Amino acid sequence: MAAVAGAGAGAGEPSLPTVRPDLVELSGYHSAQVEVEVRLNTNESPIPPPEGWLEDFRAGLSDIDFNRYPDREATELRRALAESHGVRPEQVFCANGSNEILQSLLLAYGGPGRTVALFEPTYTMHRQIARTTATAVAAGRRTDDHRLDLDEVRRVTGAERPVITFLCSPNNPSGRADPLEQMEEVLALTPGLMVVDEAYGQFAPSSALELLRGDGPGAERVAVARTFSKTWSMAGMRLGYLVADPEVVRACALVALPYHLDAAKQLAGRLALRYVHEMEARVALLREERGRIAAGLAALPVDTWPSDANFILFRPVAVPAREVWSHLLDRSVLVRDCSEWPGLTGCLRVTVGLPEENDRFLAALDESLR
């Protein structure tokens, strides 16, 4: 007998169990991984980590006891991160990328019968991980120019009483950062935890860390997720972290697998923090390049939105986005096709690359729009 949807492995012939029915229509995360010369689709840093970091890392690897489990508490890494943000180590939780941070929060605070709020268009994994953890999603809208609408925040948080309200600042894929005063207002409206995803935080004019470190009302309900995948040039290492109240950190530790953070990664993150000036130099270069791309786009028949991150959202006016995307790919330039995402009809997103990559992108885009 074939397994009946929703029944798991039933009583008849042995067979593969069916997938949880609430996951059936999920399609997973899709960003094309194809061989191209100019890869501008996943917002990584185009610049490798500093040579000095690589040397330190190679040397440090030889001190690792590879036959032993790593430090489960990631003590030294958390201490270094805490120091860099002016918080206590008990306020830091590390994981395999900030996606795993988001998943830990949802495992700990979400689940059946619980709801999280988010404001779309935003980072799609917030909704996706909520679904995989069987957490209900109350989705509000951002304004047409991708700002937070406080009336909408009030409506959604008031009606749904979410355990977590997610913000993303700078927001992916619009690139817009939410002003601190607005985050403060969202916090006041939020009955539970306000999680601010700051994957691109180093590009933003301000950070929710200021609220968390302050003594304003609700500071203990602010949690900030950050990553080494972008400005730290370490997407290949998969390392992210959370800064939050110690109680939130303990909740995340509760759902983490034993020894989830390997020794090499702990070392890599700790050493990276010695190269903060090099990281800041990369941010400065990318900001400058972002300005150049924005100026290039302004001269073309596309709509664009101002960005506080290392990517720019744009919408071709006269040529269908999918055609433009294919044309760019034919010229070995890969950007992100968001054209069928809710609230982003016809939009594409380009990551800021190296100067020559950005030139290639602008030239290919110009051609594709003719």
Which of 223, 24, 224, 222 is CA-nearest to residue 131? 24
3-state secondary structure of 299: coil
CB of 80 to ligand PMP, least distance (A): 18
Six token digits for residue 191: 């009955």
Residue type, 61: L
CB of 181 to ligand PMP, least distance (A): 21
Q: Is 99 in the site for ligand PMP (CB under 6 A)?
A: yes
Q: Is 91 in the site for ligand PMP (CB under 6 A)?
A: no
Which of the 8 DSSP states describes residue 177? P
CB of 123 to ligand PMP, least distance (A): 4
3-state secondary structure of 365: helix
C-beta closer to ligand PMP: residue 171 or 304? 171
C-beta closer to ligand PMP: residue 103 or 304? 103
C-beta closer to ligand PMP: residue 38 or 239? 239
Chain residues 31-50 in contact with ligand PMP, contact rule CB under 6 A: 43
**E runs forming strands in the chain:** 38-39, 92-95, 115-120, 136-141, 164-168, 193-197, 222-227, 240-243, 302-304, 311-316, 333-334, 336-337, 348-351
* Contact range with ligand PMP by CB under 6 A, out of 3-11, 75-83, 227-235, 274-282: 227-235
Contact residues for 42 (Cβ-Cβ < 8 A; gap 6+): 31, 235, 336, 351
* Contact range with ligand PMP by CB under 6 A, out of 33-41, 95-103, 313-321, 333-341: 95-103
Question: Using CB under 6 A, which of 202, 227, 307, 358 touches ligand PMP?
Answer: 227
Looking only at the bridges linking them, the beta strands covering 302-304 and 311-316 are antiparallel
CB of 283 to ligand PMP, least distance (A): 16
Applying CB under 6 A, the site for ligand PMP has a residue count of 13
Q: Is 199 in the site for ligand PMP (CB under 6 A)?
A: yes
How many C-beta atoms surround the C-beta of residue 318 within 10 A? 8
Cβ–Cβ < 8 Å for 321, 346: yes
Q: Is 97 in the site for ligand PMP (CB under 6 A)?
A: yes
Question: Using CB under 6 A, which of 53, 93, 109, 123 touches ligand PMP?
Answer: 123
Q: What distance in Å separates the CA atoms of residue 88 and residue 296, rounded to the nearest whole number?
A: 44
Binding mask 142-181 for ligand PMP (x = CB under 6 A): --------------------------x---x---------
Phi-psi region of 307 (alpha: psi -120 to 50; beta: other; left: phi over 0): beta
C-beta closer to ligand PMP: residue 28 or 112? 28
**DSSP sequence for 190-222:** -SSEEEEE-TTGGGSS--THHHHHS-STTGGGE
* Contact range with ligand PMP by CB under 6 A, out of 79-87, 96-104, 155-163, 174-182: 96-104
* Contact range with ligand PMP by CB under 6 A, out of 93-101, 104-112, 143-151, 296-304: 93-101
Residue with tokens 């390997």, as numbered in its chain: 262
C-beta closer to ligand PMP: residue 114 or 336? 336
CB of 100 to ligand PMP, least distance (A): 7
Question: Using CB under 6 A, which of 140, 240, 346, 353 touches ligand PMP?
Answer: 240
C-beta closer to ligand PMP: residue 114 or 226? 226
Q: Is 104 in the site for ligand PMP (CB under 6 A)?
A: no
Residue with tokens 């039933």, as numbered in its chain: 10
Which of 248, 336, 253, 263 is CA-nearest to residue 77? 263
Question: Using CB under 6 A, which of 197, 262, 289, 308 touches ligand PMP?
Answer: 197
The CA-atom distances, in angstroms, between 292 and each of 242, 308, 356 are: 33, 14, 12
Residues that bind ligand PMP (CB under 6 A): 43, 97-99, 123, 168, 172, 197, 199, 227, 229, 235, 240
